[in-house]
């Protein structure tokens, strides 16, 4: 069992895509272990995107993610990190496969609707940025037995 950190970015919230995005992860078989609507501070955004510090898109990306509320989710399931990234699609919407969130719902890399941890170690770091341990709940859903043999 693995956990990953997903953020529905300001464009997703403002464009009323929250339900659409959550549905895709839910239907894929990933469970919501934690979820909340928050306004990200500059300090948190800079920590979140620390690996990109110094790149040209760092400042606009930090400005954008702090510009309006976001929905943060911790998703849990088998291979949650890879599965969620696959459901999201490639970083740049024109390169994302049809059927993915970023291809179906967006056009531009700077407004690509969702964030998802890129590997299990990143997920661990990012989940801690947004959730206290007691805010996360592991459980089984009735339908989980129908997801695998």
Instruction: Return the active site residues.
Output: 115
Burial 86-100 (b: 16+ CB within 10 A, else e): ebbbbeebeebeeeb
Distance CA 6, CA 81 (A): 9
CB 58 within 8 A of CB 47: no
Residue from 4, 115, 126, 131 touching ligand IDP (CB under 6 A): that is 115
Restricting to residues 106-125, name those near Mg ion by CB under 5 A: 118
Residue from 61, 77, 87, 126 touching ligand IDP (CB under 6 A): that is 61
Site size toward Mg ion, by CB under 5 A: 1
Q: How many C-beta neighbours within 10 Å does residue 2 have?
A: 18
Tokens representing 63 are 């400005």
Least gap, CB of 73 to ligand IDP (angstroms): 15
CB 75 within 8 A of CB 58: no
Least gap, CB of 109 to ligand IDP (angstroms): 5
Least gap, CB of 117 to Mg ion (angstroms): 8
Interacting residue ranges for Mg ion, rule: CB under 5 A: 118
Interacting residue ranges for ligand IDP, rule: CB under 6 A: 57, 61, 91, 109-110, 112, 115, 118
């Amino acid at each position: 069992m693995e956990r990953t950190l997903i953020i529905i970015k300001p464009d997703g919230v403002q464009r009323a895509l929250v339900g659409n995005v959550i549905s895709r992860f839910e239907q894929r078989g990933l469970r919501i272990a934690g979820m909340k609507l928050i306004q990200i501070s500059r300090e948190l955004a800079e920590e979140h995107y620390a690996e990109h510090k110094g790149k040209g898109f760092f400042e606009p990306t930090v400005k954008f993610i702090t510009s309006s509320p976001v929905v943060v989710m911790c998703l849990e399931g088998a291979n949650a990190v890879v599965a969620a990234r696959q459901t999201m699609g490639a970083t740049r919407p024109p390169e994302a496969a049809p059927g993915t969130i970023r291809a179906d719902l967006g056009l531009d890399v700077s407004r690509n609707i969702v964030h998802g941890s890129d590997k299990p170690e990143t997920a661990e770091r990012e989940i801690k940025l947004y959730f206290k341990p007691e805010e996360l709940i592991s459980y089984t859903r009735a339908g989980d037995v129908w997801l695998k043999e």
